[in-house]
Structure 1
Amino acid sequence: MSQALPVTYVTVMDVRRITPRTARVTFTGDGLPDIMAERPDQQMKLCLPRAGQRVPVLPRQDADDTYGMRWYEAYLAIPEDERPWMRGFTVRSYDRARNAMAVDFVLHGDDGPAARWGSAARPGDVLGMVGPSAAYARPLPASDWLLLAGDETALPAMATLLEALPDGTRALAYVEVADAAEEQDLAPAAGSEVRWVHRDRGGSLLRAVRAARLPGDGAGAAWLAGEAGAVRELRRHLVEERQLPKEAVEFSGYWRRRLTQDDAPTEEDLAWARERAGGSGA
């Protein structure tokens, strides 16, 4: 029988600034051991309290609500000034022995709720968490070599994927960050390579990938994530110019320039969602 989409509360254990613009927040919670899996790229939502709330207000969970649709309807029914902000994150790591889950917060400096909360987080703070769920897991396409590309918002997912690859995998990762101070120490599998792209030096992810010599012969695949517009351009380049099959390119738009996750999807967003689901679209 399918399990309901997990909804739980997590409490801050520790906060550490790992780069000038990235805070690594470690959480614990009674529900974590039952829902954390041994796989990379575990996506979930964190629910951030509104002003004046110590703990975010969340609806009760329905055990038969496998995909969380009824829960989400109840969430939307909460008055807007009480409804927690909900933002998507990737689990950076989970230490089962300590029951400790690390999550990286990118501190954009744009006064958004996630960056604002991450900048002020302290041990004892409480957030709600929705997921992660195996029902939404998207495995990497089968391939002889792999390209990964994303910005700093995609870095936690990319890091877990690189660390989980078998040694000897031919993989090349491009990561766009603000400057050299935002580079992180990663532990990719043997055979993988990470190249950093610095915006302060005029670098861009699209230009870097366009100029890239890809890992080799055989069937290739790609994993792309980050700002939605940049990811769309990267995907078009790989499918139309590099001739990768559409099904070999896994892609996600984590954020939209000039828009937040609270804004309604644009027509382009909807077309993109249909394409990810396997329908028609550019």
Structure 2
Amino acid sequence: MRKNILITGASSGLGEGMAREFAKLGRNLALCARRTERLEELKTELTAAHPGIRVVIRALDVTNHEQVFEVFRAFQSELGTLDRIIINAGIGKGQPIGTGAFRVNRQTAETNFLAALAQCEAAVEIFRQQNAGHLVTISSMSALRGMRRNLTAYAATKAGLANLTEGIRADLLRTPIKVSTLYPGYIRSEMNEKVKNTPFIVDTATGCRALVKAMEKEKTEAYVPAWPWGPLGFLLKRLPLSLVTRMT
């Protein structure tokens, strides 16, 4: 069992929801995010509801790459081991390419890919030292194809993260270290709370239960929730781009 679990971006959205689900399973949690006041509130809630677990928190801006390594190592020192590290922190900003919004798209790339690379480096360094652990990256269904309009840069960063994760998995195939990529479909969170008329969307609690269930199976890849995103993922990879654009 993966007892000690680190989640980045844990102050809201999917990170916060996954923390609640793992707490129900009796896991110890290392939670980090920029908003420490939100982490303090979450820690109070979880330890009150599940007094048998440990919850440790630290401030982390994942775009501060040196801080990523410092925080991950501090969590390992505090808990003794880190058994699963979930690379979840990210943003959903984006504007169509060539419309004068390079600054916004660059911020998305820096947060969703460069910062994720730093987190993966820090995580795998710890796992190699332990000779054990489970790395999980949260990609997106949008990573399966090039997306248009506001999704173009975002989808590209999530595709990059998925390929990065597969490369790490290739390096670690003959070790005890497990590596998983999760592709969430539409799960309601603070990142997309203003988006309307979204097909197949599920609430945060339902989505996070599905994410945790997929992680516990430790498969190399999983579409979440499995229905309808498994079949849709199969189609997305194979449909002509002209049809994909009608679906997004």
After TM superposition, is the score higher than 0.5?
Answer: no
Which of the five TM-score ranges fits, normalised by the shorter chain? 0.3 to 0.5
Q: What is the TM-score of this pair, normalised by structure 2?
A: 0.39
* Structure richer in helix, relative to its length: 2
* Structure richer in strand, relative to its length: 1
Q: What is the TM-score of this pair, normalised by structure 1?
A: 0.35
